[in-house]
Every structure is written in structure tokens, then in C-alpha cells.
Amino acid sequence: MLIVMHHWATDKDVTLVKKTITSMGLKPVAIPGAERTAIGIIGNQGRVNDAPLRDIKAILEIIPVTKPYKLVSRDFHPADTVVTLGNKVKVGGKSPFLVIAGPCAVESRDQMMKTARLLKKMGVPVLRGGAYKPRTSPHSFQGLREGGLELLDEVRKETGLLVVTEVVSPEHVGIVAEHVDILQVGARNMQNFDLLTEVGKIRKPVILKRGLSGTLEEWLGSAEYILLGGNPNVVLCERGIRTFETATRNTADLAIIPLVKEKTHLPIIFDPSHATGKRNLVAPLSLASIVVGAHGVMIEVHPEPERALSDGQQSLHFPEFEKLQGRLNSLGKFVKQKMQGQGTRA
Ligand code: PEP
Ligand code: MN
């Protein structure tokens, strides 16, 4: 439920509304606005009986909210959320386009250090690498697990890069958060509600990937679990969805990016590697994601993709990544200039 106050409502009126909501056993969330204040209500598991609020004169309107998400909704939080990664890098709103890159999986110290040195040289701030790998076949490489976390921690300390890795089970959230700066919830776990609840208890940023068949509403419902747990630092990541088309690994749903920006204030990045599964499609799709308004990209890059233990076919060689980075920079500047003053969120 959303309560919209009259423009003449005083701080005292707002406090009265908040107290009334609390006395109803619910939680008020203030939503500041330029014109008038609104107050959201969370904590209800069904319809709210608004009788105690009806006689408060300073209330203009009481709007029932039927969506499965509130805290992540633009209705509850009109301004863009900017998430800070590791106290220094920002993503969302008008922050510079973020590039995250690295191999699919952490394989060795040498592989991670080579990649980290390239990123550092290029000014790319965040290194990715999976320590726990959720693989379709149990016979495929499952990741170095704790050993992978140790390597990520070493590389981040040695290079000062920020590091992101996937967490696959609620019991691992603590140990993963100790070793990396950003946690990733993968597509296969988008609706692992125990995992979402657990990452809601920490404050490190979480990249929440869209599930293989996740609808926008389901995806935002999943983000809501994390925010409701108390962690506001969520970055959404579109990584392609399952369709009838098998020519690409997944179908890149670029249309969802501007739509996500309409529905939620959270940042949204794009993963062209899993969205396409093909190295030669990574550059064009990364560039396209800038045009539709993504706040960043996450790209798989490997020193020797032919020898990669997972996702080599979609991983860029270093020179390809360097070339793409140059193109992203030029296109980013161009799009920013063109969009200025047009009042569009994309
Ligand atoms: C990954 O980022 O390595 C990964 C497994 O991605 P997704 O969860 O999108 O399949
Ligand atoms: Mn991968």
C-alpha cells in the first residue's frame, strides 16, 4: 500500500501516519518526493485494513499495491539507486558505464593474475571468476571452490581490483563474503529463496542474474527478498533467456533493459557472454546494451580461451577485449552526449 500525503502536509502529519502504520503492526517506508511525501507500507502478507488511516486529513490518497514487489519498485523509490562497489566504484544512475570482466571459472593463480594485470592496465575495475560452478553435468569442472576463493582474495589484495564471484548455497554466503567484494546469484538460483534471504543479511553488493525462464515480475520479486532482508545493494543482470532458438546459447532480451529501468530504481547490467554463448557476438551485443541504457556489462575473458575449463567458446581473447573496451568507451561518450537533455531514462 502506498500513502500519498497532501502537498501541505507537515512533518508532524508524516510522523502521525508513520506511528499509525507502526501501531498496525506494519513498517512505514518514507518516499521523499519533490512535490509531496509518500509513505509505503511493508510487512503485510495480504490486504491491509486501512481504517486507522482513513480519518487522517493530511492523507491525499491511499493506493493499494498489488505487485509482488515494493521496495524495488519505482513507485516506492522514484530516484535511481547507485550501488557502491568496494567503497570506490559506482554503478547505476548517471555513473560511468561499468565493465566487469574475467574468466568464467577460477582455474589457476597464473590465469587469474594474467587477467587481473590486463584489467588493471586497461582501467577495468572489477574482475569476475567463478569458484563454485553450477554446471549442467556433474562430470564437468565444478570449480576450485574454497581454493578458488583463496585465489580471488589473493588477487584482489595484490592488484587492488574488486572481485565478484558466484555463491550457490546459503551456507556459503559468509565465507564468500569474506573473500570477495561482490556476490553473484546465478541464473539457476534466481528463485533460491533461502539463498536470497541469506544474501539479504549481508551488506556487500549482490549481482542478481535473471533466471533462464524468469519473468520480469519474478526477477524483481527475487530482488525484493534481498532488499527486504536489509541489503539495498542489488544490481540486476540480464544474461539471456531460454527460447525456441538454439542458434545462440540463450536469447538476449535487450528490450527488458529499458523496461527494468521503468519498473525499478535498481541498476541493471548486461552479460553478453552467457546471453549469446558465442565469442563473435559479444562485442555487438555489448555495444547494443549501451544504446538501450544498460549501466554496465559483465564479459567473459580468458588468457587462453581454447584451454578454458568452462565457457571457452564465449570467452574473448585479450586483444579482442581490449578492442571492445575502446569501442565501448567511444560509443558510451557518444550516447551520453546524444541523450543529454532528452529526459529519457534509457
Ligand atoms: C556465470 O556468470 O559464470 C554464470 C554461470 O552465469 P549464469 O548464472 O548467468 O548462467
Ligand atoms: Mn560462464
Pick from 152, 165, 274, 313 the residue to mutate for probing ligand 1's pocket: most ligand atoms within 8 Å of its CB.
Answer: 274
Residue 123 lies in a domain: yes
Q: Kindly state whether residues 126 and 260 are assigned to the same domain.
A: yes
Give 299's strand partners. Answer: 101
Residue 171 lies in a domain: yes
Q: Cβ distance 53 to 23 under 8 Å?
A: no
Q: Kindly state whether residues 163 and 239 are assigned to the same domain.
A: yes
Residue 76 lies in a domain: no
Query: What domain count does the chain have?
Result: 2
Q: Kindly state whether residues 240 and 286 are assigned to the same domain.
A: yes
The domain that contains 100 carries what CATH number? 3.20.20.70
What is the dihedral angle through the alpha carbons of 182, 158, 172, 85, rounded to the nearest 10 degrees? -10
Q: Kindly state whether residues 132 and 163 are assigned to the same domain.
A: yes
Q: Which domain holds residue 30?
A: 2-63
The span from the CA of 95 to the CA of 167, in Å, is 26
Residue 307 lies in a domain: yes
How close is the Cα of 33 to the center of ligand 1, in Å? 37
Mean per-residue pLDDT for 170-189?
Answer: 98
In the structure, ligand 2 is a single-atom ion and the residues with CB under 5 Å from it are: 104, 311
What is the per-residue pLDDT for 247?
Answer: 98
**Atom of ligand 1 at shortest distance to CA of 186?**
8
Mean per-residue pLDDT for 323-329?
Answer: 98
What is the per-residue pLDDT for 34?
Answer: 75
Polymer length in residues for the chain: 346
Instruction: Give the tens place of pLDDT for each residue, 18-73.
Output: 999 999 999 998 887 777 888 999 888 888 899 999 999 999 999 888 888 999 99
Q: Kindly state whether residues 39 and 123 are assigned to the same domain.
A: no
Q: Kindly state whether residues 146 and 278 are assigned to the same domain.
A: yes
What is the per-residue pLDDT for 345?
Answer: 52
Q: Kindly state whether residues 32 and 89 are assigned to the same domain.
A: no
State the pairing for strand pair 38-42/2-5. antiparallel
Instruction: Give the tens place of pLDDT for each residue, 121-168.
Output: 999 999 999 999 999 999 999 999 999 999 999 999 999 999 999 999
Establish whether residue 211 lines the binding site of ligand 1, counting it when its CB lies within 6 angstroms of any ligand atom: no
Instruction: Give the tens place of pLDDT for each residue, 87-119.
Output: 889 999 999 999 999 999 999 999 999 999 999
Q: Kindly state whether residues 133 and 239 are assigned to the same domain.
A: yes
- Residue 344 pLDDT greater than 70, yes or no: no
The closest residue, in CA terms, to atom 9 on ligand 1 is: 187
Q: Cβ distance 284 to 274 under 8 Å?
A: no
Residue 153 lies in a domain: yes
Q: Cβ distance 296 to 91 under 8 Å?
A: yes
The domain that contains 50 carries what CATH number? 3.30.70.1140
Residue 69 lies in a domain: no
What is the per-residue pLDDT for 67?
Answer: 85
Q: Kindly state whether residues 54 and 201 are assigned to the same domain.
A: no
Pick from 164, 184, 206, 219 the residue to mutate for probing ligand 1's pocket: most ligand atoms within 8 Å of its CB.
Answer: 184
Which amino acid would we find at residue 253? D
Residue 234 φ/ψ, nearest 5 degrees: -110, 135
**Atom of ligand 1 at shortest distance to CA of 184?**
2
What is the per-residue pLDDT for 133?
Answer: 95
- Residue 342 pLDDT greater than 70, yes or no: no
If one compares 315 and 29, the residue with the highest pLDDT of the two is 315
Pick from 104, 137, 192 the residue to mutate for probing ligand 1's pocket: most ligand atoms within 8 Å of its CB.
Answer: 104
Residue 68 lies in a domain: no
Instruction: Give the tens place of pLDDT for each residue, 260-294.
Output: 999 999 999 999 999 999 999 999 999 999 999 99
Residue 72 lies in a domain: no
Task: Give every CB contact of residue 1 below 8 A, 6+ residues apart in sequence.
Answer: 40, 41, 44, 48, 50, 62, 63, 64, 65
Q: Kindly state whether residues 50 and 123 are assigned to the same domain.
A: no
Q: Kindly state whether residues 232 and 151 are assigned to the same domain.
A: yes
Instruction: Give the tens place of pLDDT for each residue, 201-248.
Output: 999 999 999 999 999 999 999 999 999 999 999 999 999 999 999 999
Q: Kindly state whether residues 196 and 89 are assigned to the same domain.
A: yes
